[in-house]
């Protein structure tokens, strides 16, 4: 399924999501970022939604614009952040602050060597961490993005892409009767 097919499939109650979905995949929707960064963020975010229709449509849309290493990095960001967001959200929310001083004992080598520019991986990780709701990870990725010179507008764009793809996945699931039926 293409992005155009996905947009056409969007139900009337998700008109705003449909309009936003069209905007995040062009130059106007990635203020402060390159379009290529937007594509990588969109793919990582689509993977993080866990919604097969959304993942397929976004992959089809971006695959001709991204190199194999960039596609792999987007998948890696979604995968490693799935683990890190659970662990560090626990550390952040646990009443017992001793957990914060304990070593994680989790392999995270891809963060240090993602196969793409470090800032691109940080932006993908920020988007996925926003989807997964890990404040500790969000703060860490925002800090790295700011240090690398990404504007607040660019950071907002990364999170906006993630939010639109979550809304898209939600609409698809509702429409498929996964969330509710008529």
Instruction: Write out the catalytic residue numbers.
Output: 134, 137
Mention every residue, 6+ apart, whose C-beta is less than 8 A from residue 181.
none
User: What is the DSSP annotation of the chain?
Assistant: --HHHHHHH--GGGHHHHHHHHHHTSGGG-TTS-HHHHHHHHHHHHHHHT-HHHHHHHHHHHTTTS-HHHHHHHHHHHHHHHHHHHHHHHHHH-S-GGGGGS------HHHH--SS-HHHHHHHHHHHHHHHT-HHHHHHHHHHHHHTT--HHHHHHHHHHHHHHHHHHHHHHHHTTSS---
Q: How many beta carbons lie within 10 A of that of residue 5, not counting itself?
A: 12
Q: How many beta carbons lie within 10 A of that of residue 87, not counting itself?
A: 17
């Amino acid at each position: 399924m293409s992005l155009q097919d996905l947009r056409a499939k969007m139900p009337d109650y998700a008109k705003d999501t449909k309009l936003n979905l069209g905007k995040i995949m062009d130059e106007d929707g990635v203020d402060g970022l390159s379009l290529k960064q937007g594509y990588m963020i969109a793919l990582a975010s689509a993977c993080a939604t866990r919604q097969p229709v959304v993942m397929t449509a976004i992959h089809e849309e971006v695959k001709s614009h991204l190199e194999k290493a960039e596609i792999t990095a987007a998948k890696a960001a979604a995968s490693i952040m799935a683990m890190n967001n659970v662990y560090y959200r626990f550390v952040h929310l646990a009443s017992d602050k001793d957990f914060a001083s304990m070593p994680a004992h989790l392999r995270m080598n891809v963060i240090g060597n993602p196969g793409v520019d470090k800032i691109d991986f940080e932006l993908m990780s920020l988007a996925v961490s926003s989807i997964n709701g890990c404040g500790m990870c969000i703060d860490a990725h925002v800090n790295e993005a700011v240090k690398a010179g990404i504007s607040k507008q660019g950071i907002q764009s990364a999170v906006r892409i993630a939010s639109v793809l979550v809304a898209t996945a939600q609409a698809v699931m509702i429409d498929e009767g996964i969330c509710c039926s008529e």
